[in-house]
Structure 1
Amino acid sequence: MPDHDLSPYEIAYLFGGADRVAVVALVVLHEGGRIRITPDRHRVYAERRTAQDPIETVALAVIPDIGRVLGLTRLLVALSPAVAEVGWRLRDERLLPSSRLGALWQWRRIRRGRSLRRRLAEAPQGLVRVAVQGTAGIADDELREIFETHVYTLPKHSPLTNPKRDRPVDPLHGRTPMNPATYDFTGGFDGSGGWDVGGYGHAGGSDGGGHGHTGGSDGGGGW
């Protein structure tokens, strides 16, 4: 696959994996005015829910009307099947090892990927710079500071604490990351009761599919 055929998402995955893809998607949406991220609370709000690709669709879908903290938004996008598909495309093009075990012997893929990354890193511009350098490549000073100073800790009882739980199985590639749509984080594990978006607390109860507990650590609804 020639360098110019790689999308910013594919370049991002080559350099930083699924999380880097999520960063690129959020930067694109922010620059286009479709989301805003508050500098004080680092909270993401959807302004216009118009997506141009499957990853943008996921990014906008995981942001509820009351907003969501940047760290969890970023994590949910990174765990989505749409982002996982980017990785599988790169594996199909033999730019990444087929698995961690495959990395022990698929040296041609590894050398090819390294060579490509060296070329792409020479003079990245615009969105490619974000894909290559991560948050350090964000041109907007305020947005870059938000990304680089935000710290998110996944709550101990989050359904995402065990990422292998309830993930759909891809018959071609084996297990894939969970689909955030299978969990309603304004509801419960079954979409009808706990995991309030407020802070790290949970609202709801055992009769609604949640696990009780109310509260929030970010001062206003912060998951």
Structure 2
Amino acid sequence: MGELSTYEIAFLCGGPRRVAQTALLALVEGRRVRVSRTHRVEAVRARPDAPAQAAPDDPLQAALLERVPGTGTMLGPLLAAVAETPELQEIAAALRERGLLRGASRPTRKGKAARRGLAESPVTTDLARLAALGPEAVEDARMREILGTDDPKPIKLPRTKHRGNNLEASNLPDSQYNSF
């Protein structure tokens, strides 16, 4: 059957999202992006005014980096966007050509057999574990938690009826100025 790439293994074992997660973890390990516990993804920059580091040789990682703006982005929408890229679709096409995938992402019998073999084979790196077994197999506890959970819900701040700089409308005491 020939050797499968890490991305092909990820696609076969977990679909497009797993491939995007694998590319993200490779960028994190290469210190090209950082991901906060709040699921905010930011490109690492040498200086604050410098652009993100040069695109990596890997086309999927380059596509992921292109989608991270200077202000950062949330992990969930980023992974969804990367899952739709032409670079990722090429991985699916390669699996279809090898007879491992049918349609958009359904494995054939040959693909299911390969997937079973991959799940049983020993893997040594975090990237290989993520690709074959999913986020729960990542050794780095912080990244395991981040990749294994959904983005946190945004906090809704209460709306106030007071707007602008109208200090008289605030409910804060202004006792420091009462002595005049």
Question: Is the TM value for this pair above 0.5?
Answer: yes
Offset of 1:110 from its aligned partner? 2.0
1:42-191 equivalent positions in 2, closer than 5 A? 42-47=39-44, 48-98=53-103, 110-122=108-120, 123-126=122-125, 127-151=127-151
Distance in 2, matches of 1:75 and 1:59, equals 10
Contact 1:23 1:134 in 2 (8 A): no
Q: 1:218 to 1:87 in 2, by over 3 A?
A: farther
Q: Distance in 1 between matches of 2:99 and 2:20?
A: 22
- Letter aligned with residue 41 of structure 2: V
**What amino acid is the match of 1:149?**
T
Given residue 42 of structure 1, which amino acid in structure 2 is its aligned partner?
H
Look at both structures and tell me which one has the larger radius of gyration over its CA atoms: 2
Identity of aligned pairs, percent? 38
Q: Give the Cα–Cα distance (whole angstroms) in 1 for the partners of residues 149 and 104 of structure 2.
A: 32
Query: 1 CA distance for matches of 2:100 and 2:111?
Result: 5
Letter in 2 for 1:18: P
What are the ranges of 5 or more consecutive residues in structure 2 without an aligned counterpart?
45-52, 157-180
Counterpart CA distance in 2 for 1:30 and 1:11 is 19
Could you tell me which amino acid in structure 2 is paired with residue 67 of structure 1? G
Cα deviation per residue 1:21-46 (whole Å; 9 max; x = unaligned)?
Answer: 0000000000110000011x210001
User: Following the alignment from structure 2 to structure 1, what is the Cα–Cα distance between the partners of residues 71 and 146?
Assistant: 19
Cα gap change, 1:28 to 1:99, in 2 (>3 Å):
closer
Amino acid at match of 1:56: Q
Distance 1:28 1:81 in 2: 19
The one of 25, 44, 50 equivalent to 2:23 is 25
8 A Cα contact 2:92 2:104, kept in partner: no
When the two chains are superposed, the root-mean-square deviation of aligned CA atoms in Å is 2.1
The structural deviation recorded for 1:152 is 6.5
How many residues matched? 146
Q: Which runs of 5+ in 1 are unaligned?
A: 104-108, 154-216
Higher RCO, 1 vs 2 (CA within 8 Å, ≥6 residues apart): 2
**Structure 2 CA distance, aligned partners of 1:146 and 1:218?**
18
What does the per-residue CA deviation read over 1:95-137, in whole Å, with 9 as the maximum and x for residues that have no partner? 112468xx7xxxxx72211211111111233122110111112
Q: 1:6 to 1:73 in 2, by over 3 A?
A: same
In structure 2, distance between residues paired with 1:72 and 1:49: 23
TM-score normalised over the length of structure 2: 0.74
